[in-house]
Structure 1
Amino acid sequence: MAAPVSEDGKGLRGEACSFLPGGAAPYGNFPDYSRFHPPEWRLQLLPAALLSQLFPSPRAGPLLGLDVGCNSGELSTALYRHLLGFGKSDASHMCSVPEKDLYLLCCDIDPGLIERAKKSSPFPGAISYATLDIMDAGAREVLLSSYLSRFGRVAFDICFCMSVTMWIHLNHGDSGLVKFLSCLASQCTYLLIEPQPWKCYRAAARRLRKLGRNDFDHFRSLTISGNMAEEITQILTKGCAMELVCCFGSTSWDRSLLLFKSKEIRSLL
């Protein structure tokens, strides 16, 4: 069994999944991702009262969240606990009365990781997991519209995109990254995004070369490069009708947590 490595090239032992020999995961689907990037390292940057700050007015229904690229669900669960103020011992979202009800739809391209997430989820009533290639427009429309229709909604209140942009960029090129960001912006009121820095692109390509494989199809042709947090901010603010609300700072592995808000009015009906 191959030992997967982190995006920064650090090795870990892990369960076999849909990644190449030697631990190079072409879609970022590392089977033990949370072990080398623990959720709490991100969550310490986020205010526990974030949902109440973003949505201060009373709501007739619950808040809806979309987590794109959820891996095996550890970060999704940790985000849910953190934003609703649950301790680690709370086994159900009925253990206490949250100030804001939140339902999460979490998706990932890897069916093996999704199965693990479903089996280990402590909040099956509030967090749903589904296999989805987010770049497959047909499958995306079916899943997201079906989920939203259950609540009589046409958009999510908040979308989480944590360390996913690089994999979209490497596998779908500059145009794919722009389409991906545009898609997220059209689906939510708020977008919390954590872009990978350019050094992670080089590390991912280097791992493939060490395995004797070719670079990612688009790596050599990418023109969107350099400071990826700035590049993604430009795409979202200039082409996707969003505005940057806040940067919550950077993780210890040099990734910024950026919060954007849509300039368009999202209907609740």
Structure 2
Amino acid sequence: MSAQLLCYFSGLAFVRCGYGHYNRTFLLIWQNSRAPPTYRECLQQHTDFNPPENRLSLIPPALLRDLGYSDETTLILDVGCNSGELSGAFYKHLVPEEQSDRRKVHLLGFDLDETLVQRAQEINPLPSRITFIPLDITKDTNQLQDYLSQHGCSHFHLCLCLAVTMWVHLNHGDSGLLQLLSRLSSMSQHLLLEAQPWKCYRSAARRLRKLGRSDFDHFKTLKIQGDVADHAREHLERHCGMELIQSFGSTAWDRKLLLFRKT
């Protein structure tokens, strides 16, 4: 995610935060009214809005073991890893420090934004186990296939797709969303999905209109609306050979965490 200051006045900062070109705009109330926030400060405030704990509190630490992954090489894919904070926290949540040397668990995170990927690499807590790369999955998966080959695997054991679907949906339409789900399911044994609800779409579009900007390319033509998570479940089960095996409830932002398995 990148952060760009749009305007600043008397402690109020409009900041556009984006997953690559999937941009979001937030109003930050900045305490230091003499100077606008820096890029790093904007990014930190956005991270504070939805810290890793909001999701991790719903995920059992023994998830990998419960799914049958214990001693063998286990690969995790984090789609839209941002600057890596959640990736690192998720890894440590599933693989305690005392087990990290013994267990062969590797995580690959990718993001459209090369600046964010560079930051993720700089703060990477476990560079021998966690890797970050710049990638646009809507265009290319060769790097993902190369990573699998390097580890002698044909698929990722667990794929994380957390709060990414809406931005792909808004910028690539219904077909783009379904293509993303199909692509992830084709290379994953398990998929942990957090799809933004429709009210988030309306909020994102409303923020753009208030700033006098044009709407998202596909917002008014989307046919997949309402319960987007249920639409995603239906596509994964009907067309991708996956089944919903568990719901971990909803996050503080009222987003369902759904776990799917390849049948």
TM-score normalised per structure 2: 0.84
Specify whether residues 55 and 256 from structure 1 end up closer, same or farther in structure 2 by C-alpha distance, changes over 3 A only: same
Q: Is the 8 A contact 2:224 2:231 kept in 1?
A: yes
CA distance in 1, matches of 2:209, 2:95: 43
What is the percentage of aligned positions where both structures have the same residue?
A: 47
Shift in Å at residue 8 of structure 1? 9.2
In 2 relative to 1, CA 12–126 (structure 1 residues): closer, same or farther, beyond 3 Å? farther
The secondary structure found in structure 1 opposite 2:39 is coil
For the pair 1:120 / 2:120, whether they are aligned, the reply is no
Structure 2 residue 173 is matched with structure 1 residue 162: no
1:55 aligns with 2:68: yes
Letter in 1 for 2:59: L
TM-superposed CA distance for 1:146, in Å, is 1.1
Q: Give the drift of 1:55.
A: 1.5
Counterpart Cα distance in 2 of 1:209 and 1:172: 20
Q: CA deviation at 1:252?
A: 1.1
**1:188 corresponds to 2:199:** no
1:266 paired residue number: none
Query: In structure 1, what is the Cα distance between the partners aligned to 2:261 and 2:46?
Result: 28
SS at match of 2:28: coil
> What is the correspondence of 1:118-157 to structure 2 with a 5 Å cutoff?
118-137=121-140, 140=141, 142-157=142-157
Greater mean alpha carbon deviation, residues 185-194 or residues 147-156? 147-156
The within-5 A match list for 1:1-269 is: 1-2=5-6, 3=13, 4=15, 9=26, 11=28, 15-16=38-39, 32-56=45-69, 58-59=71-72, 62-86=73-97, 96-97=99-100, 100-137=103-140, 140=141, 142-263=142-263
Residue 102 of structure 1: how far off its partner (Å): 1.1
Alpha-carbon deviation of 1:100?
A: 3.7
Stretches of structure 1 lacking an aligned partner (at least 5 in a row): 18-22, 24-29, 87-94, 264-269
Larger RCO (alpha carbons 8 Å, 6+ apart): 1
Residues in 2 aligned to 1:43 and 1:181: alpha-carbon distance in whole angstroms: 22
Which secondary structure does the structure 2 equivalent of 1:104 belong to?
Answer: strand
Query: How far does residue 58 in structure 1 lie from its aligned partner after superposition?
Result: 4.5
- Quick check: 1:15–1:32 contact (8 Å CA) kept in 2? no
Flag the structure with higher strand content. 2
Q: Which amino acid aligns with 2:64?
A: L
8 A contact 2:159–2:192 mirrored in 1: yes
Q: Secondary structure at the match of 2:48?
A: helix
Residue pair 1:195, 1:228 contacting (<8 A) in 2 also? yes
Secondary structure of the 1:215 match is coil
Q: Distance in 2 between matches of 1:133 and 1:104?
A: 17
CA deviations over 1:5-39 (Å, ceiling 9, x no partner): 7869553666439xxxxx9xxxxxx6754211000
> Which residue identity lines up with residue 68 of structure 1 in the other structure?
V
Q: Is the 8 A contact 1:39 1:75 kept in 2?
A: yes
SS in 2 for 1:34: helix
Query: Does the CA-based 8 Å contact 2:71-2:104 persist in structure 1?
Result: no
SS of equivalent to 1:115:
helix
Q: Tell me, yes or no, if the aligned pair for 1:84 and 1:98 is still in contact at 8 Å.
A: no
Tell me the number of residue pairs that the alignment of Structure 1 and Structure 2 aligns: 239
Task: Note closer, same or farther for the CA distance 1:107–1:221 as it changes in structure 2 (3 Å cut).
Answer: same
Distance 1:75 1:244, change over 3 A: same
TM-score normalised by L of structure 1: 0.82
CA contact (8 A) 1:170 1:216 kept: yes
Inter-partner Cα distance in structure 1 for 2:100 and 2:79: 27
Over 3 Å counting, the alpha-carbon distance change for 1:83 and 1:12 in structure 2 is: farther
- Structure 1, 205-214 or 121-130: larger mean CA deviation: 205-214
